[in-house]
Structure 1
Amino acid sequence: MPDLRFFESLPALSVGGLAQRIEAEVVRGGDRMISAVAPLGVAGPDDLAFLGDRRFLPALSESAAGCVIVPASAVDAAPAGAAVIVSGEAQAAWARASLLLHRPISLTQAAAPDEVVEDETVVLEPGVVLGAGARIGRGSRIGANTVIGPGVQIGRDCVIGSNASIGFALIGDRVRLLSGVRIGEPGFGAAVSRSGPVDVPQLGRVILQDGVSVGANSCIDRGAYDDTVIGENTKIDNLVMIGHNCVIGRNCLMAANTGLSGSVTVGDGVMFGGKAGVGDHLTIGEGARVAAGAGVLQDIPAGETWSGYPARPLRQFLREAVWLAKQASGKARAGKAGND
C-alpha cells in the first residue's frame, strides 16, 4: 500500500469493473474487490499485480496477489486463488488501474506554519509554502520560495536552500539541501501500449538519512513503488540525477553531473567522478570507485576502480589506452617514412 501521507486511496473496485475500465478481459474472479496495486512479490489479497516479463513467471506462481494481469500465454501460471485479467499490454493496463485506485495528495491549500513546525527555532524565509501534514523539526531552516509538499517529514537542524521543492519524502536530521533541488518528483517510467507510451504512476517515496547533503539543482526521483534511499552522510554534488528506486549506501561521494538510472544499488563508501553514468538495475560494490566520465553498463565488484566507456577495470582501461597510443604512433611513423 502506498504511504497514506502522500497518496490518497480511492474507492475499491471489482475485478470486473477494473477490467472494463482498462479495456481488458476477465478470466476469473470478476466479483473480487481490489483496493490497491503492488508488485508481484509484495502484493496481498486486496492488491492488483501484473506480469510484465516471462522472467518473472516464478514470482507470478508464488504471488499472494488478489488479482493479476497477465498475457494470454501466462494464464495457466497464475496463482490458483487469484482473480485473473488478460491483457496484451499488461504493464500499461496495470498503470491505468493504478490511476483508478491511488492519487497523489495535491498541494491544494497551504498549511499554517504553526501546524507544521516543531517549535520557534524553525526559520521559514519569505515565500515558503507548506503542505498539509508536513512536519519540520527543531532548528531547521527553510529557504525563500521553497515548497514543502503534503506529508513531508523533515528532521532537526536541517538547512534547505531557496527555490527547492520537496515532496513524497522522509528526511533525517542534519540534512543539507542546496537551492533548486528537486526531491520526490515522479521517476521516468513508461509502458508500451497500442495507443502510445503510458506513464506508470510512481507510488514510492524518497528517504534521505541523517547527514546527507544534496547540491544545487540536483534531482532525486521518488520510487516507482519501493523507496529511493540515500544513506547516512552521503554527499551529492550539484547537478546530479538519481533515478527511481535507487538505493545509495552510507558515506558515498557523487561529483557533479553524475547520473544513476533507475534501480541502481550502491554500496557504502563508493565514489563517483564527475559526469559518471550508470545503467539501470546495476550494483556498485562497497568501496568501489567510478572514474569521471565513465559509462557503467555492468556490475562493479567491491573495492574496484573502473573507467572508460563502456567502463572496465582501471588497469585494463590503461593497458588498452597505451596499446592504442602505440598503434597510432606506429602508423603515424610509417606514414611519414612512406612520404619521405
Structure 2
Amino acid sequence: MPDSRFFETLSPLSVVELAAKTGGEAVRGGDRMIGSVAPLSSADGGAIAFMGDRKFVAALAATQAGCVIVPEQAVGSVPAEAAVIVSRTPQASWAMASALLHRPLSLDRAIAPSEASEDDSVVIEPGAVLGEGVRIGCGTRIGANTVIGPGVQIGRDCVIGSNVTVGFALIGDRVKLYAGARIGEAGFGATGTAAGAMDIPQLGRVILQDGVTVGANSCIDRGAYDDTVIGENTKIDNLVMVGHNCVIGRNNLMAANTGISGSVTSGDNVIFGGKAGIGDHLTIGEGARVAAGAGVLADIPPGETWSGYPARPIRQFLRETVWLAKQASSKKAPRES
C-alpha cells in the first residue's frame, strides 16, 4: 500500500469496474473488490497486480494478488484463487488502475512554520512553503523559496538550500540539500497504449539516510512502487541524476553529471567519476570504481575499476587503447602528390 502520508487511497472498485475503466475484460472473479495496486511479489488479496512479460511467469504463479492483469495467453498461469482481467496492454491497464485507486496528495494548504518545527531552533527563511503533515527536526534550516510537500519528514541539523523542492520523502539527520535540488519527483516510467505512450503513476518514496549530501540542481526520483534509497554519508555532486527504485549504499561518491538509471543497486564505498552513466537494473559491487565518462552496461564486481564505453575492467580498457594507438601510428599517412 502506498504511504498514506503522501498518497490518498480512493474508494475500492470491483474487478468488473476496473476492467471497464482500463480497457480490459474481466474473465474471473468480477465481483471481487480491489482497493490498491502492487507488484506481483508483494500484492495481497485486496490488491491488483499485472504481468506483461513472460520472464515473470514464476512470480505470477506465486502471487497472492486478489486480481491480476495479464495477456490472454497467460491466463492459465494465474493462481486459481485470483481474479483475472485480460488486456492487450497489461502494464497500461495497471497504470490506469493505479490512478483510479491512489492519488498523490497535493499542496492545497500551507502550514505555519510553528506547526512543522520541532522547536524554536528550526529556521524557516522567507518564501518557504510547508505542506500539511511536514515535520522538521531541531537545528534544521529551510532556505528561501523552498517547497516542502505534504507529509515530508526532515531530521535534525539538516541544511536545505534555497529553491529546493522535496516531496514524497523521508530525510534523516545532518542531510544537506543544496540550491535547486529536486527530491521525490516522479520517476521516468511510461508504457505503450493504442493511443501512444502514457505515464505510469509513481507510488514510492525517497529515503535519504543520515549524513547524505545532494548537490545543486541534482535530482533524485521517487520509486515507482518501492523506495529510492540513498545510504548514510553518501555524497552527491551538482547536476547528478538518480533514477527511481535505486538503492545506493553508504559512503558512495558521485561526481558531477553522473547519471544513474532506474533500479540500480550499489554497494558501500562506490565511487562514480564525473559524467559516468549506469544502465538500468544493474548492480555495482562494494568498493567498485567507475571512471569518469564510463558507460556501464553490465554488473561490476566488488572492488573493480571500470572505464570506457561500453565500460570494462580498466586493465582491459588500457590494453585495448594502447593497441589501437599502436595500430594507428603504424600506418603512415599517404604522401601528397
TM-score band, normalised by the shorter chain?
over 0.9
Q: For 1:268-288, what per-residue CA distance to the aligned partner results, in whole angstroms no more than 9, with x for missing partners?
A: 000000000000000000000
**Greater Cα offset, 109-118 or 277-286:** 109-118
- 1:197 aligns to what SS in structure 2? strand
Distance in 1, matches of 2:182 and 2:336, equals 59
User: Residue in 2 aligned with 1:322?
Assistant: 322
Amino acid across the alignment from 2:160: I
Q: Give the total of aligned pairs.
A: 337
Distance in 1, matches of 2:259 and 2:331, equals 37
Structure 2 counterparts to residues 221-236 of structure 1, below 5 A: 221-236=221-236
- 5+ residue gaps, structure 2, are none
User: Residue in 2 aligned with 1:152?
Assistant: 152
Distance in 1, matches of 2:70 and 2:192, equals 15
Q: For 1:4-53, what per-residue CA distance to the aligned partner results, in whole angstroms no more than 9, with x for missing partners?
A: 00000000000001111112101100000000000000000000000021
- 1:94 aligns to what SS in structure 2? helix
Q: For 1:60-100, what per-residue CA distance to the aligned partner results, in whole angstroms no more than 9, with x for missing partners?
A: 01000000000000000001100000000000000001000
Distance in 2, matches of 1:122 and 1:162, equals 15
User: Residue in 1 aligned with 2:104?
Assistant: 104
Kindly state the Cα deviation for residue 111 of structure 1 after the two structures are TM-superposed: 1.1
Task: Indicate whether 1:313 and 2:313 are aligned.
Answer: yes
Distance in 2, matches of 1:93 and 1:316, equals 46
User: Residue in 2 aligned with 1:141?
Assistant: 141
RMSD, aligned α-carbons: 0.8
User: Residue in 1 aligned with 2:68?
Assistant: 68
Structure 2 counterparts to residues 9-48 of structure 1, below 5 A: 9-48=9-48
User: Residue in 2 aligned with 1:128?
Assistant: 128
User: Residue in 1 aligned with 2:51?
Assistant: 51
Distance in 1, matches of 2:280 and 2:200, equals 17
User: Residue in 1 aligned with 2:250?
Assistant: 250
User: Residue in 1 aligned with 2:94?
Assistant: 94
Amino acid across the alignment from 2:287: G
User: Residue in 1 aligned with 2:290?
Assistant: 290
Q: For 1:214-249, what per-residue CA distance to the aligned partner results, in whole angstroms no more than 9, with x for missing partners?
A: 000000000000000000000000000000000000
Instruction: Give % identity.
Output: 73
Distance in 2, matches of 1:74 and 1:224, equals 24
Distance in 1, matches of 2:233 and 2:113, equals 29
- 1:184 aligns to what SS in structure 2? strand
**Greater Cα offset, 111-120 or 177-186:** 111-120
Distance in 2, matches of 1:41 and 1:18, equals 21
Distance in 2, matches of 1:102 and 1:198, equals 17
Amino acid across the alignment from 2:20: Q
Q: For 1:258-302, what per-residue CA distance to the aligned partner results, in whole angstroms no more than 9, with x for missing partners?
A: 000000001000000000000000000000000000000000000
- 1:192 aligns to what SS in structure 2? strand
- 5+ residue gaps, structure 1, are none
Distance in 1, matches of 2:121 and 2:47, equals 43
Kindly state the Cα deviation for residue 339 of structure 1 after the two structures are TM-superposed: 5.9
TM-score for the superposition, normalised by structure 2: 0.99
Distance in 2, matches of 1:44 and 1:179, equals 41
Amino acid across the alignment from 1:110: A
User: Residue in 2 aligned with 1:270?
Assistant: 270
User: Residue in 2 aligned with 1:304?
Assistant: 304
Distance in 1, matches of 2:197 and 2:10, equals 24
Kindly state the Cα deviation for residue 113 of structure 1 after the two structures are TM-superposed: 1.5
- 1:75 aligns to what SS in structure 2? helix
User: Residue in 1 aligned with 2:213?
Assistant: 213
Amino acid across the alignment from 2:153: Q
User: Residue in 2 aligned with 1:161?
Assistant: 161
Kindly state the Cα deviation for residue 157 of structure 1 after the two structures are TM-superposed: 0.2
Kindly state the Cα deviation for residue 114 of structure 1 after the two structures are TM-superposed: 1.6
